[in-house]
Amino acid sequence: MSQLNRAVKISTTFIILFALYHAAEYLILFKNNAIGFLIVQCIFFAAAYFLGRWYSGNGLSAWGLPLRGKKFFLVGIGYGILIYAIPYLVSIFIGVDRITEIPDWIRAAKASVPFAFGVLFSSFSEDVLTRGLIYTHLRDELKPVWLVILSALVYVLNHIYRLGDGIESLLYLFLLGIIFFIPLLRTKNLWLTGFMHWSGNTFFFISHNVIQTESNNDLITSNYLFSICLAFLIPVIWVINKYSLKD
């Protein structure tokens, strides 16, 4: 396949999947249409499969979702919870945030289970869009550090509804983008990253939306504290990725 042909295919793929991803996001965020969200997410993965066959003949494997790799299910969940739990617990411990209400388990489950189900789709579809496509197309042309940085920037820019939230939100999104890409370099698939992303999103929802908290410190915001913790976790994830992860 010529470079021009590859570039046309990856550009077309990105545009189509970007449109489908954000159509689903629009339906859930602005229309509260869960059924529409799920339908469009399913269309996203169907399109990703056929576009993957068009790009390289490999279906979803082209974007980092081969049949192998699901063994990272528990590892990914553990990493995702850890990445989000450490900043949260530090925030509570030093008084940046304070827990104001903990619902009973029935209320918590009713709120958490539907969210966890829906965000499973959006986490993996965003990983395909902002990480899988970049890794597949540029892994032989860019050094790993530039792949990580490029993917993290695309991840930030993909949050089109949050670009006006200020530097503190963009900063932690960029750092998350770095952390989520690192396992892909070693495992060469998105399963671990996807489960990290999903469990982290679910933990954040439970700890900030199901469990009620409020800011209790004027010296630093929880978002900046989150970014500081993520910055310290990046080399930890890198070392673990380098010496222990295998597909």
Q: How many CB atoms lie within 10 A of CB 232?
A: 11
- d(Cα 209, Cα 55) in Å, to the nearest integer? 40
CA distances from 37 to 32, 119, 131, 192 (A): 9, 10, 21, 24
Q: Once rounded to an integer, what is the mean pLDDT over residues 7-22?
A: 97
CA distances from 113 to 77, 101, 105, 212 (A): 15, 19, 11, 17
CB 112 within 8 Å of CB 207: no
Q: pLDDT tens digits, residue range 17-74?
A: 999 999 999 999 999 999 999 999 999 999 999 999 999 999 999 999 998 766 788 9
- Domain locations in the chain? 66-244
Nearest-Å Rg of the Cα atoms of the chain is 18
Looking from the CA of 66 toward its CB, the CA atoms found within 13 Å total 12
Q: Assign 97 to helix, strand or coil.
A: strand
Check residue 215 and give its pLDDT. 86
Better-scored residue on pLDDT, 6 or 245: 6
Q: pTM of the predicted model, to two decimals? A: 0.95
Q: pLDDT tens digits, residue range 169-218?
A: 999 999 999 999 999 998 999 999 999 999 999 999 999 999 999 988 77
Check residue 70 and give its pLDDT. 61
